[in-house]
Amino acid sequence: MSQVRDMPANILNWLLEANIDKEKINQAWVKSGYDDKKIFDIIFSDENIDKQNNQKSNNQKQCIDNDNDFLEKSKLEKHVSKQMTDLLQAKKPRKPNSYVAIENNENDNILDIIFQLFHQIPQLYEQILKVQCNSQETGKFLKLIQLLLTELTASNQSFVSQKQILQSSFWGAKDIEFLEKSQDPSEIFFFLLIKIDFCLGQQMKQGQEKNENFMIKEFNSLFNFKFQGIQDYGSTFLLSTDMEQNSVLSFLNEKYQQKVISFPQFLCIQIKRKNGDQKIFNINQKLEIEFLKKDYNGKGMNQQNLQITYNDLEIIQQDFKNIEKVIEIFQEDENQQQSQDIIKIFKSKLNTLQRIYNVGQGNLQKEKNYQDNQSQVYVIYSIGLQKGSQGSKAISLYIQNYKDKNWLKFTNNQNQVIIDDEEVLIDSNKNAQFVIYINTNLIPQVKQHLTQQNEVCNLISKNNCYDINHNSYLKQLVPKDVLLEIFQNNLRYKQNPNG
């Protein structure tokens, strides 16, 4: 849609959605001095509302469909949609227990959602922030990512911008083309992650190991599947399904049974859909992994050695004691030469038993580790979904809030919506495109991450010039120069909220 004299596309679209005449928008834009805050006051002044009502009274009647679509009983109710209201509210200071939104610039909606997802994965969030960036191109780009992630935690504004990241000279021509054309959130997630991984590798001087997807080993632990037989399967970080098997678990069971050595901490699944596809995605299904390939350090174990039990180890320990007593007896024998020969035989027996004991104990520990791995359980953590026509970039993100047992929803310019399972279930059943499952062992860490984020938010909302440089959580996590820059941004907003 063409813009009105360089008006931000999101504001123009919402004004048009509110049935404001395009020429009136243009006039108000000029009158406001091209100020995206003042234009609302001009358009929705009593004089303009009366004029517009008179023009449309003969052939139109505005109505309120429901409380979610329009504001009740106000002078804006017939002109401002709920999305417009969200935009107006986003201009305000941050509220307690809220999440910062990213200002949407129409074409970069998917990227906005991906940054929100990065912010909600604590291991990824911390790994990106802990590095001190250098002055090279990769360091400058990584610092922009760090600034945005820190703003999502510690900004005193309800929404922030990621324009600097999009305008970075780090992007090549092919990168820009990909970002402009791609509508798949899973592809953009890993496209951006690979770029960040490269930048981190340059800062940390880490090289990429053979058969690994990422330079940063922590990223491989987070996302990388390992398969039996490198030539046949190798490593990957995203599994794709058309849901012909009717569930993610049955898909994994059919496609990867006895082929996977180990799963990452987060299972990333791409769900491919065609027009009219009615395949159902079930958010409540747990993935109990019971089909991992038995493999220890890439080598099959000697099945005979595996037969040893903890009871066998106890018997071997008793044999140690008995042989040691026999050796003591022969050491007291007057026939030294004969006794020494017998002692040597028993000591050799002791060495043999010691080797058997060590191998048996090691194998039992490996078997225990394998059984622990077999019993891993994964549950849904996030869902990226697309609604509307094919090729639309209108992506929504649901993230499960294990702390409060509900869901967070991120969309265009929307900083927080708390919803229950029913809406997520209905919305994601036939629209889920990119889902991430989390190992249940990590849920305590995710809860702690949310708790710390909320504590920072509430400190800032009470005092929006709160000195984040002295916050213990942020001090140990965020580079000093990044934290100082966000604090300075907060002070500027405090001094001039409309600037």
Q: What is the pLDDT of residues 23-40, one digit of tens each?
A: 888 888 888 877 776 777
Confidence of residue 210 (pLDDT cuts 50, 70, 90): low
C-alpha–C-alpha distance, residues 79 and 16, integer Å = 9
Which of 86, 80, 46, 41 has the alpha carbon at shortest distance from 64? 80
pLDDT surpasses 60 at 18: yes
**What is residue 368's predicted lDDT score, i.e. its pLDDT?**
59
| Interstrand relation of 377-386 and 287-288 (parallel, antiparallel or unpaired) | antiparallel
C-alpha–C-alpha distance, residues 418 and 450, integer Å = 14
**What is residue 57's predicted lDDT score, i.e. its pLDDT?**
45
Lowest-pLDDT range of 84-98, 380-394, 455-469: 84-98
Lowest-pLDDT range of 18-27, 361-370, 379-388, 421-430: 361-370
Q: What is the DSSP track for 454-471?
A: HHHHHHHHH-TT--GGG-
Considering the chain, what is the average pLDDT of its residues?
76
**What is residue 254's predicted lDDT score, i.e. its pLDDT?**
79
Structure tokens at 457: 């938010």
Task: Give Dmax over CA atoms of the chain in angstroms.
Answer: 127
pLDDT surpasses 60 at 306: no
**What is residue 281's predicted lDDT score, i.e. its pLDDT?**
78
pLDDT surpasses 50 at 119: yes
Confidence of residue 207 (pLDDT cuts 50, 70, 90): low
**What is residue 475's predicted lDDT score, i.e. its pLDDT?**
92
What region, left, alpha or beta, does residue 211 occupy, with left being phi > 0 and alpha being psi -120 to 50 degrees?
left
pLDDT (average), residues 222-228: 81
Confidence of residue 289 (pLDDT cuts 50, 70, 90): confident
**Distance (Å) of CA 8 to CA 5, 84, 104, 294, 467:** 9, 13, 9, 56, 32
What's the distance, Cα to Cα, between the start and end of the chain in Å?
Answer: 28
